[in-house]
């Protein structure tokens, strides 16, 4: 009799454990679903950021005061500061955007100990802020930035632009232009002028997810896209 009771209790305990596992598993499933819309690597460092939906931030990224639009992703080792990034941007590994400034004119030294209270080297001699160290950069929608490119502070990158791998961007980048080199220069535009004009007016990146999902194949050819929606 005692053996039967023991057996019964063992089954109850096993059932209880199984139920706990089930709840854990179900909970895990829910959290996984939730985080897939904002995938941020555990080795990334983010401070004062505003993240959209369906975004991804890779390993060792460093973001300070950055707003990121929906469907944008940052690969690994990307550093961005004081920047607004639009939707559907693809930012490759090693990119630096709006990394800050040191004085190159008038000031005797470039070291922030003389003009900043940021204590970059642990100390400062300065009682205030005597130099504008950070700019405000804006990256449009559907921008592709190639590996190891540098975008300087206070730059405006237009919608649909492409910045080639290793480019150093020192001036504003026109919408739908492709820039490469150091300093970055336009090599060509992605589309004809009237196509660019149409895309900038159409602003497909503001469409809802359902519309984008239903019509994704239209995105494979600019001619038919313009014919259909232009």
Ligand X SMILES: CC(C)(COP(=O)(O)OP(=O)(O)OC[C@H]1O[C@@H](n2cnc3c(N)ncnc32)[C@H](O)[C@@H]1OP(=O)(O)O)[C@@H](O)C(=O)NCCC(=O)NCCS
Q: Please report whether residue 186 would count as binding ligand X according to CB under 6 A.
A: no
Decide whether 17 or 187 has the Cβ nearer to ligand X.
187
Phi and psi for 190 in degrees, rounded to 5? -65, -35
Give the x-and-dash track for 132-161 against ligand X (CB under 6 A): --------------xx--------------
Buried b (16+ CB within 10 A) or exposed e, 14-33: eeeeeeeeeeeeeeeeeeee
- For 113-123, b/e burial (b = at least 16 CB within 10 A) is bebbeeeeeee
Contact 88, 71 (CB under 8 A): yes
CB of 58 to ligand X, least distance (A): 11
CB of 146 to ligand X, least distance (A): 3
* Closest distance of CB 28 from ligand X, Å: 31
Residue with tokens 């990224």: 61
The answer to whether 100 contacts ligand X (rule: CB under 6 A) is no
Q: Say which residue the tokens 């480019």 belong to.
A: 167
Identified binder of ligand X from the candidate list 49, 165, 174, 222, rule CB under 6 A: 165
CA-CA distance, 39 to 59, in Å (whole number)? 11
Q: Report the residue number, 134 or 165, with the smaller CB distance to ligand X.
A: 165
Report the C-alpha gap between 230 and 205 in whole angstroms. Answer: 15
Least gap, CB of 162 to ligand X (angstroms) = 5
7 is catalytic: no
Interface pick for ligand X out of 187, 194, 227, 229 (rule CB under 6 A):
187
Pair of tokens at residue 23: 């709840």
In angstroms, give the least distance from the CB of 52 to ligand X: 20
Does 166 sit near ligand X (CB under 6 A)? yes
User: Which residue among 44, 46, 66, 92 contacts ligand X (CB under 6 A)?
Assistant: 92
Binding range to ligand X, per CB under 6 A, among 110-118, 124-132, 179-187, 213-221: 179-187
Q: Please identify which residue in the block is written with the tokens 């050819």.
A: 221
Q: Which of 60, 102, 138, 190 is catalytic?
A: 102
Report the length, in residues, of the chain: 230
Of 167, 224, 160, 213, give the one whose Cα is nearest residue 190: 160
Give, rounded to a whole angstrom, the gap between the first and last alpha carbons of the chain.
83
Q: Of 178, 196, 199, 205, which one interacts with ligand X (CB under 6 A)?
A: 178
Give the helix/strand (H/E) hosting 7. Answer: helix 2-35
Active-site residue list: 102
Binding residues (CB under 6 A) for ligand X: these are 92, 146-147, 162, 164-166, 178, 180-181, 187
């Amino acid at each position: 009799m005692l053996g039967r009771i023991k057996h019964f209790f063992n089954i109850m305990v096993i059932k209880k454990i199984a139920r706990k596992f089930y709840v854990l598993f179900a909970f895990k499933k829910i959290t996984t679903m939730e985080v897939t819309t904002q995938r941020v690597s555990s080795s990334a460092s983010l401070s004062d950021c505003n993240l959209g939906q369906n975004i991804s931030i890779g390993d060792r990224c460093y973001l300070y005061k950055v707003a990121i639009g929906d469907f944008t992703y940052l690969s690994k080792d990307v550093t961005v500061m004081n920047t607004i990034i639009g939707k559907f941007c693809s930012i490759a590994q090693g990119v630096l955007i709006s990394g800050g400034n040191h004085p190159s004119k008038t000031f005797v030294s470039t070291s922030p100990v003389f003009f900043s209270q940021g204590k970059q080297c642990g100390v400062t001699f300065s009682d205030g802020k005597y130099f504008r160290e950070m700019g405000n950069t804006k990256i449009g929608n559907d921008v592709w930035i190639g590996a190891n490119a540098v975008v300087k502070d206070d730059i405006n990158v237009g919608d649909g632009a492409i910045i080639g791998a290793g480019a150093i961007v020192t001036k504003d980048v026109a919408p739908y232009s492709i820039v490469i080199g150091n300093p970055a220069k336009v090599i060509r535009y992605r589309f004809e002028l009237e196509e660019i004009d149409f895309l900038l007016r159409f602003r497909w990146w503001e469409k809802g997810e359902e519309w984008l999902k239903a019509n994704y194949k239209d995105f494979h050819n600019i001619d038919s896209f313009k014919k259909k929606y232009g």
